[in-house]
Amino acid sequence: MAAGMLRFITCGSVDDGKSTLLGRLLYDAGMLADDQLDALRRDSRKRGGDALDFALVTDGLDAEREQGITIDVAWRYFHTARRSFIVGDCPGHEQYTRNMATGASQVDLAVVLVDARKGLLPQTRRHTYICALLGIRRVILAVNKMDLVGLDADIYASIVEPYRALAASLGIESVNALPVVSTDGDNVGLRSGRMPWYQGPSLIELLETLDAEAPPPPQFRLPVQWVNRPDQHFRGYAGTVCGGRVAIGDQVLVLPGGQGAQIERIVGPSGDLTEATSGQAVTLCLDRELDISRGDVIAAAAQPVPVADQFGCHLVWFGDAPLLPNRSYLLRLGTATVNARVTAIKHKVDVNTQAPLAARRLELNEVGYCNIDLDRPVAFERYADNRTLGGFILIDRQSNATVACGMLDFALHRAANIHWQHTDVDKATRALAKGQHPLCLWFTGLSGAGKSTIANLVERRLAAQGYHTYLLDGDNLRLGLNVDLGFTAEARVENVRRVAEVAQLMVDAGLVVLVCVISPFAGEREFARGRFADGEFVEVFVDTPLAECEQRDPKGLYAKARAGQISNFTGIDSPYERPAAPELHLHAEGQRAEQLAEQVLAYLQGRLG
């Protein structure tokens, strides 16, 4: 099958008709054999219906048949003339976030079901959030039970439009929507004649043609899975390539140790190869003897994989017992297993609204943003860049149960061997002397969004009220402290790190600090947040559409970027990652800076002491 394989999941709330849709999909693809159809007819009659109950095709286990709900991820296999499919049926029931995350970790596409009578439910938002959290970037929205709303185009539109906005806000890049009646098969296998207002493809046609697979990460990485050493004549490092390609003669670096070597031989599944690419299970031989073991990562020498032992990460908690900070768990990342403890739960995430909530522990099916500390450094990547080297599980040391999955966000850098010098006058003392609660207002947004203008207005008002303030402007800092930094991704990370450190020192000094930096990467904003105590960091997202920023273009930079005179310009040829849950979201389009400054001041009311 030339189109290759598509792995996807279906998710929806209880009674959205998910199992029915899946059963119908298998039926329409011609995958139900005669004996299975006979069993289906028998079982459908037992349930008291004459029509085929397609939900019975996929409900496998006794317990859930009795309860009438799907309680675990079930994997199904089908093919059409154009493509093979593996589909995970993910449960919609409230307490099974765990299974959704499990299913989502294996696929690149999700089919989200909505009952046309009910529209978007909190569960719809939750399922979409978990898909996005696990790295799914493409969703098919199937609005089901259209027959029960009179096959009405307006009702369909009233569900699809807000869903698109919701999905975009959560980081889903693409949504294909379609109306279906899964019991009757409308738009499942064949296009329906009953909804002429929908001219798009059927579900099967969509699945056959969508290019859902994320391109593999470009840089060569191979986590060593097994050292194959049958005798003294052969020593090979077996593993599956999880990024880029490698060829005989390539220079590689083995991490976290950092030893360099050259690729001497590549053993593939059917014999020796000259090169290997992402997805292949191979065995690499190096030109020199090194001490390499399972858990090490072999990477391109020119683009080595980073190494760290402290991270900011999202955790989805699966354990019956709650996550407790500082308890030791086993962490498995790539092929490495190390001891780990969660040093801080920065916040938990309300999975229905994505609002950050204060938390001291994480309970079953809760999602949290945490700092995690390992007992030794490991090679890693951000989950957004590489699922294999950024996705991990936590294992309970006593029961051996898998109690969480996690997605690495960025490394926290520990200054080894340098110890904090205690001083007698502390932050509280300094704040008291100034009669205020210090905090950091972190303005993020595109160039020309209005960050500095708004911050300037806010600072004037605060100063007028007698507060001790300081405005750290990204551009100004680049003229001094950060004069050595350019605009590559690495330089931007370092830029934000320095600004965050300076802001933190100023907050420590008791000041109200206003920071204006584009800070395009969520990871660095989270790093900045991690430098402050709870409640001290206020992320202000100045949300001005790119078109408007470009039209304003106060410094003429967009014109230069469009003309190709400057590169790595945020919004043009360098990404801006929208904040998922800022404390303040300023919708700046069509608003005057004064109005937006008022919103910031209103937020600060009562928070500065």
Partner 1 sequence: MQGLSHLDDLEAESIQILREVFACFRRPVMLYSIGKDSTVLLHLLRKASRPARPPLPLLHVDTTWKFREMIAFRDRVAAEGDVQMLVHVNQDGVRQGISPLTHGSAVHTDVMKTQGLKQALDKYKFDAAIGGARRDEEKSRAKERVFSFRSAQHRWDPKQQRPELWQAWNTRIREGESVRVFPLSNWTELDVWEYIRREKIEVVPLYFAKERPVVMRDGALIMVDDERFVLREGERIEQRRVRFRTLGCYPLTGAIDSRADTLDAIIEEMRASRSSERQGRIIDHDGASSMEKKKQEGYF
Nearest distance in Å: CB 35, partner 1: 5
Applying CB under 8 A, does 167 fall inside the site for partner 1?
no
- Which of 50-54's residues contact partners 24+ apart within 8 Å by CB, and which partners? 51/183, 52/27, 53/20, 54/19, 54/20, 54/21, 54/22, 54/23, 54/24, 54/27, 54/182, 54/183
Return the SS3 of 257: coil
Q: What CA–CA distance (Å, rounded) separates 100 from 136?
A: 12
CB neighbour list of residue 351: distance below 8 Å, 6 or more residues apart = 97, 126, 129, 130, 365, 366, 367
Could you give the dihedral angle defined by the CA atoms of residues 84, 88, 89 and 92, in that order, rounded to the nearest 10 degrees? -140
Q: Which residue of 45, 47, 61, 357 would you call a contact of partner 1, by CB under 8 A?
A: 61
Applying CB under 8 A, does 153 fall inside the site for partner 1?
no
Applying CB under 8 A, does 10 fall inside the site for partner 1?
no
Nearest distance in Å: CB 10, partner 1: 13
**Is residue 182 within 8 Å of residue 54, measured between CB atoms?**
yes
Applying CB under 8 A, does 480 fall inside the site for partner 1?
no
Applying CB under 8 A, does 247 fall inside the site for partner 1?
no
Q: What CA–CA distance (Å, rounded) separates 329 from 491?
A: 34
Applying CB under 8 A, does 232 fall inside the site for partner 1?
no
Nearest distance in Å: CB 26, partner 1: 11
DSSP summary character for residue 488? S
* Residues noted as catalytic: 519
Q: Which CB, 281 or 489, lies closer to partner 1?
A: 281
Q: What CA–CA distance (Å, rounded) separates 517 from 255?
A: 33
Cis link prior to 256 (omega < 30° from 0)? yes
What is the torsional sign of CA 402, 403, 409, 415? negative
Q: Which CB, 43 or 598, lies closer to partner 1?
A: 43
Nearest distance in Å: CB 260, partner 1: 24
The one segment of 167-175, 274-282, 523-531, 564-572 that binds partner 1 by CB under 8 A: 274-282
Q: Nearest CA to 215 among 235, 244, 236? A: 244
Applying CB under 8 A, does 278 fall inside the site for partner 1?
yes
**Is residue 95 within 8 Å of residue 364, measured between CB atoms?**
yes
Q: Which residue of 68, 226, 352, 567 would you call a contact of partner 1, by CB under 8 A?
A: 226
Q: Which residue of 387, 437, 451, 468 would you call a contact of partner 1, by CB under 8 A?
A: 387
Q: Which CB, 101 or 528, lies closer to partner 1?
A: 101
Applying CB under 8 A, does 447 fall inside the site for partner 1?
no
Applying CB under 8 A, does 201 fall inside the site for partner 1?
no
| Interface of this chain with partner 1, residues 26 to 45, rule: CB under 8 A | 33-36
Convert residues 318-357 into a mask of x (bound to partner 1 by CB under 8 A) and - (unbound).
Answer: x-----------x-xxxx----------------------
> Which neighbouring-strand residues pair with 341?
328, 373
The one segment of 136-144, 265-273, 559-567, 578-586 that binds partner 1 by CB under 8 A: 265-273
Q: What CA–CA distance (Å, rounded) separates 143 from 380?
A: 39
Applying CB under 8 A, does 436 fall inside the site for partner 1?
no
Q: What CA–CA distance (Å, rounded) separates 514 from 382?
A: 28
Applying CB under 8 A, does 197 fall inside the site for partner 1?
no
Q: What CA–CA distance (Å, rounded) separates 330 from 201?
A: 47
Applying CB under 8 A, does 234 fall inside the site for partner 1?
yes
Applying CB under 8 A, does 294 fall inside the site for partner 1?
yes
Number of amino acids touching partner 1 (CB under 8 A): 68
Applying CB under 8 A, does 158 fall inside the site for partner 1?
no
Q: What CA–CA distance (Å, rounded) separates 398 from 400?
A: 6
Nearest distance in Å: CB 277, partner 1: 6
Applying CB under 8 A, does 215 fall inside the site for partner 1?
yes
Q: Nearest CA to 222 among 387, 335, 332? A: 335
What is the torsional sign of CA 281, 282, 283, 287? negative
Q: Which residues contact partner 1 by CB under 8 A? A: 1, 4-5, 33-36, 58-63, 65, 72-77, 79, 84, 86, 98-99, 101-102, 105-106, 213, 215-216, 225-226, 228-230, 234, 236, 238-240, 267, 269-270, 277-281, 283, 294, 318, 330, 332-335, 387-388, 391-393, 395, 400-402, 405
